[in-house]
Amino acid sequence: MKVLIIGGGGREHALAWKIAQSPLVDAVFAAPGNPGIARHAACVDIRADAPDDLVAFARRERIDLTVIGPEVPLVAGLADRLAAAGLIIFGPSARAAAIEGSKVFAKDLMLRHGIPTARFSSFDEPRRARRYCRDVGAPLVVKADGLAAGKGAIVCRTLEEADAAVAECMEHRAFGPSGARVVVEEFMVGQEVSFFALANGDDALPLAAAEDHKAVFDGDRGPNTGGMGCYSPVAVFDDALEKRVMETIVRPTLTALAREGAPYRGVLYAGLMLTVEGPRVVEFNCRFGDPECQALVVRAPGDVVPLLLAAARGEAWPPAHPWPQVASVCVCVASGGYPGQYATGLPIRGIEAAESRPGVHVFHAGTATREGRLVTAGGRVLGVTAVTENLEGAIATAYAAVREISFEGMHYRTDIGRRGERSAAPPRR
C-alpha cells in the first residue's frame, strides 16, 4: 500500500520512520517533508495548507492511507477535503478537530457532558475577562481561544499578570485572531501528563503517556515553546490511572463528540493535570504531540499501520501488542533565541555521530538542505531521541548524543526527564 504523510516537522519524521517499517507499506510520501523524512519517504513539494494540490497528488498516486500530522490543516478541514475525494484519512474532521481549534468549544463540551476540567469562563470583551480574573483570584490561566502553536496558555501568578495576559491576547493580538476570545480558568495543581488514545468513531484504544517540558529554560523557566523535550513512560500513570482516564475522560469525550455530530477518527491527545481530586483535562489536541510522538514511536510495539487503518476506516481494533518495558527521552535542540527571533541557514554538524550511538534516533524538525549542506530552518531543529531499558539510561544516552551535535547558537534544556527520574518506577505503558 501507499501512505502519504502530511507535514514536515519532527512529529512527521517520527511517523515516517515508524510507518516505513510496516511490511504492509510499499511506498511512503511526505508533503512537504524535510531532509530527515527523505531518508524514509519520497518528499513532494506541496505545503500542508494546499488542499487542492494535496487532493490531486493523492488521487494521482492512488494513495491508500493519508496521515495528517499538524493541527492547522486538520482544524482547517483538510481531512474533510481528502475524504470527499474518496481517500482514507487518519485525522479528524474539522468539526471534531475543533476540540483543539477552539478552547471555548472544548471547555463548553466538557461542561455540557460532565468531563472533569478546571472551572472557567470565556470572554470576547477584555473588561469582562479582567473582572472574572478577580472572581477566580490568582494564580489563574488565560488561554487564547484558537491555535497558537502551543504558546497561547499564559499562567498568571498575580492579577497584574492576568491583566497583562488579557491585553496580550485581546488588545495587542499577540496570537492574531486566535486571541479574539479568551478562556480564563482556575490554576490547577498537580503533575501534567500527555495521554494518547486512538479513536475509530465509536471506540478508543489507549496508547501511552508522556510528560512534555514546555518552558524554554531548565527548571521550567522562561516562556512556553512548542515543547523542549519529553520522556515516556510516566511512572505515576499506572494501569489503574489509565483505566480511570479512559472511563471518565477519553470515552465520554468521544461519545460527546459523536452525539453532537462530530464523530472522531484519529488520535486524541488529552493534556491532563493529575490533581488530588483526580485527573482533569488541561486541554485536548487533535493530533500526536510534538515532541511526544518522537518519544512514543521509539517505544511503540509492532506495526502501527493496522491501527492507523482501523481508526481511519472506523473498524474494530486489531490485536494489540504489549508495550515493551523500555523508556525513552526526546531532547529538542533549538535555535538560539527560540521561541523569539532566531537565525536560520546555519550548518549542522554531528548527526551521524549522534545516531551511531545504540538506541539513538535523531528526528528532523526544522532543517533544510542548501548547496548540499544540512542547515537550520526553524526554531526547534532536531529531536534527539533515545530508548533504553530505563529512564536513567535514556537520559544519559540522549544527552551523550546531543553533545555530538553542533551549530551556531544551538540551545537545549539539560533537565529533560529529570522529573520522571525522581519518581521513577519500573517502565510501563
Q: What is the pLDDT along the chain (429 residues), one digit of tens a residue?
A: 999 999 999 999 999 999 999 999 999 999 999 999 999 999 999 999 999 999 999 999 999 999 999 999 999 999 999 999 999 999 999 999 999 999 999 999 999 999 999 999 999 999 999 999 999 999 999 999 999 887 889 999 999 999 999 999 999 999 999 999 999 999 999 999 999 999 999 999 999 999 999 999 999 999 889 999 999 999 999 999 999 999 999 999 999 999 999 999 999 999 999 999 999 999 999 999 999 999 999 999 999 999 999 999 999 999 988 999 999 999 999 999 999 999 999 999 999 999 999 999 999 999 999 999 999 999 999 999 999 999 999 999 999 999 999 999 999 999 999 988 665 544 444
Asked whether the bond before 32 is cis by omega within 30 degrees of 0, the reply is: yes
Helices (H) and strands (E) counted in the chain, each on its own, are: 15, 21
Can you tell me the distance from the alpha carbon of 45 to that of 51, in angstroms, rounded to the nearest whole number?
A: 13
Is pTM beyond 0.85? Reply is yes
Residue the block writes with cell 523542549: 228
| 3-class DSSP state of 248 | helix
Q: What are the grid coordinates assigned to 48, written together? A: 500542508
Dihedrals phi, psi of 7, to nearest 5 degrees:
135, 170
* Phi-psi group of 219: left, alpha or beta (phi > 0 → left; psi -120 to 50 → alpha; rest → beta): left
Furthest-apart CA atoms within the chain: distance in Å: 59
Please compute, for residue 175, the number of CA atoms within 13 A of its CA located in the half-sphere on the CB side: 24
Residue the block writes with cell 489563574: 140
Q: Specify which residues 89 forms β-bridges with.
A: 66
Crossing angle (nearest 10°) for helices 126-136 and 159-166: 160
End-to-end CA distance of the chain: 29
Q: Specify which residues 43 forms β-bridges with.
A: 30
Domains of the chain: 2-91 (3.40.50.20), 125-180 (3.30.1490.20), 191-313 (3.30.470.20), 327-422 (3.90.600.10)
Residues 153 and 197 sit within 8 Å (Cβ to Cβ):
no
Which residues in 112-203 belong to E strands, given as ranges? 120-123, 140-144, 153-156, 182-186, 191-200
Residue the block writes with cell 470583551: 125
Residues 109 and 151 sit within 8 Å (Cβ to Cβ):
no
Helices (H), 382-422: 391-402, 418-422
